Amino acid sequence: MGIKPTPGCSDIGPEFDRLKADRAIYLDAKLVAFVEKAHSSLQSRGRFKQRDCYKRSLLHYAAMGNCTNLLLYLLQSKPDVDSRDQWGRTALSWAAQYGSLAVANILLEQGANLNASDYEGGTPLTWLIHAGNPEMVDIAATEAYLRERGAKEVKLRGIKWAWMNVITGAAGKHCGERDKKQASLFEHNEYADMYFISKNPSLAWRSRAVDMAKGLSDVWEQDKTTH
């Protein structure tokens, strides 16, 4: 379908409300403040070029919330659709993880790199498969859409696979019967640690995350030999 950018930003209010209701945002006061500041700036000045504490731009947020009106408004200023955050992730990577089908379609029409790799080697499809929430309405449709267009899944192994689970909190949330060993690593305080690691990327927390990732990696490798 053709891109028809909206002429103004008066219709993006509900999308900002949806963003603030996202669990990954409303649990972090800094992210809530960022979203509110961005909304206010767009309303008063019509522009906002700042990034959050993880170097994510509003493009990334539009992708997370499947905010098509916001995305179309931002695209009028011709931003870099493959702009990266501190993890090397593009807006399409976040759209894939969140099952934001409409946004993914728009980004690809605007020339986004379908298989852009982040700093750990993960592609948008990799994030959808390993960290996407299966309860999201369009997650399966988004996967099918990306695959039809040639999206590639990187087969993450060992520490990289474990690290993805640590920073997303995926382990223990979407595990099946044969993944109970992995899930057991993140019960109680371990799971709490995962959340704070993702929100506090300091050197100390990174060290803790690496230890957790290595533990999960060892369990995964051991489990693989018994199945």
Q: Quick one: pLDDT at residue 173?
A: 42
Could you tell me if 134 and 166 lie in one domain?
no
Do 116 and 131 lie in a common domain? Answer: yes
Contact 218, 187 (CB under 8 A): no
Out of 15-24, 117-126, 145-154, 217-226, least confident range: 217-226
pLDDT at 223: 52
Q: Mark 104-137 as b/e (b = at least 16 C-beta within 10 Å).
A: bbbbbebebebbbbbebebbbbbbbbbbbeeebe
CA–CA gap between residue 213 and residue 158 (Å, rounded): 9
Residue showing tokens 């767009």: 42
User: Domain of 146: which CATH number?
Assistant: 1.25.40.20
Residue 164 in domain: yes
Amino acid at 141: A
Q: Residues 131, 78: one domain?
A: yes
Instruction: Fill in the DSSP letter of residue 179.
Output: G
pLDDT in tens, 128-156: 988 888 888 899 999 999 999 999 988 76
Q: What is the pLDDT of residues 84-108, one digit of tens each?
A: 999 999 999 999 999 999 999 999 9
Mean of per-residue pLDDT scores for the chain: 77
Length of the chain: 227
For residue 212, the enclosing domain spans 157-222
- For residues 125 and 170, membership in a common domain is answered with no
Distances (CA, A) of 175 to 50, 116, 182, 195, 221: 36, 26, 8, 17, 16
Within this chain, do residues 2 and 93 fall inside the same structural domain, yes or no?
Answer: yes
Note whether 145 and 175 are same-domain residues. Answer: no
Q: Judge if 108 and 212 occupy the same domain.
A: no
227 is a domain residue: no
pLDDT given for residue 10 in this prediction: 63
Same domain, 120 and 140: yes
Same domain, yes or no, for 137 and 205? no
Q: Are 143 and 167 in a shared domain? A: no
Same-domain pairing of 177 and 190: yes
Residues 74 and 124 grouped into a single domain: yes
Question: How many domains does the chain fold into?
Answer: 2
